[in-house]
Amino acid sequence: MAIVITIANQKGGVGKTTTCRELAYIWGKQGKKVLAVDTDPQKGLTLRSPVEEDKKKTLKAVLEGYIDPEEAIIKTKYYDLIPGDKRLKNSSSDFSISEDKAALKDILSGLNYDIVLIDAAPGDSILYDMSYIASDYIIVVADSSPEALSGIAEMYNSVERYRKEGLTHASFLGSLMCRVKMAFGHPSNLYIDRYNELSSLIKDTIKAEPFETYIRDTDNCGTANGYKMAVNEYNKDCCAALDYMKLADEILKRIHDISGKEV
């Protein structure tokens, strides 16, 4: 049975997709069977993966029941991908919360992977509800912007509501600070208080400890994305690549500490 992890924040541009991509690459390279699911209408994960898309075989077609998930899955060297679809921006009118909220969970339950990573869409939509219900764990990604906090309380309340209804057993695994500005190899003094404050606020909201690892800001991430490469593939010695390697281990250790499950 796969461990399903959603990488979430309702604000776009905080580092969700890059985090999802890196973790899929790292865990895949370590020999785990990883599936990444792109629920974002902007298809960031799809566009940054070394894949050739078939516009008829996307997550939307799977959710709408036109094709089996196996038909949509694209294999890359280290992970598999269910590609996103820009028409998912109409998901609130295309899907019904009462009938479709468990759709993603049903779809993923029939697949055989060790880890499933869901790149959540920014904003608030039924896709988020589908992701929460399908997940075992949720990782909140944030950067130093004030908007990074917006929506986290709503996210927490939604998950709690679905837990009480028995639709999910998802829990918040922790929060991750991304794009941490550095000065001479250390978090910049200008930002360190801000990062600590944000981490503390998020911890109070989601009731989960922030990860010790934080992802340092580097141009290598953007450049790697342009080449459709993971930053660990593009420049494995850069600070972000090293941080993501550390994060991948920390996440698995935390899952093991909570559930006793070895992935």
Partner 1 sequence: MEDFKILTEEELAALTSSQRRDYLKKKKEYDNKALVHGTLAESNDDPAPVHKVVSERKQAGRKPIPPDQKKQQIHLTVEASTKRALEEFAKRDYARLLSRYIDNNLETIMDAMKRIY
Q: Which residues are at the interface with partner 1 (CB under 8 A)? A: 63-68, 94-96, 99-100, 103, 106-107
Phi/psi-derived region of residue 135, left when phi > 0, alpha when psi is between -120 and 50, beta in every other case: beta
To 10 degrees, what angle do helices 219-226 and 16-29 make? Answer: 70
Contacts of 96 (CB under 8 A, 6+ apart): none
Say if residue 174 is exposed, middle or buried (CB neighbours under 10 Å; 0-12, 13-18, 19+).
buried
Neighbours of 244 (CB within 10 A): 24
Nearer to partner 1, 61 or 202 (CB): 61
Q: Which two tokens stand for residue 118?
A: 């869901």
Is the Cβ of residue 38 or residue 100 nearer to partner 1 in the bound state? 100
When the beta carbons of 59 and 140 are compared against partner 1, the nearer one is 59
What is the maximal distance between C-alpha atoms in the chain?
53
Sign of the alpha-carbon torsion through 143, 259, 5, 28 = positive
94/114 with CB nearer partner 1: 94
Angle subtended at Cα 44 by Cα 61 and Cα 5, rounded to the nearest 5 degrees: 75
User: CA 236 to CA 45: how far, in whole Å?
Assistant: 20
Nearer to partner 1, 46 or 175 (CB): 46
Nearer to partner 1 (CB atom), residue 67 or residue 263: 67
At its nearest, how many Å lie between partner 1 and the CB of residue 2?
19
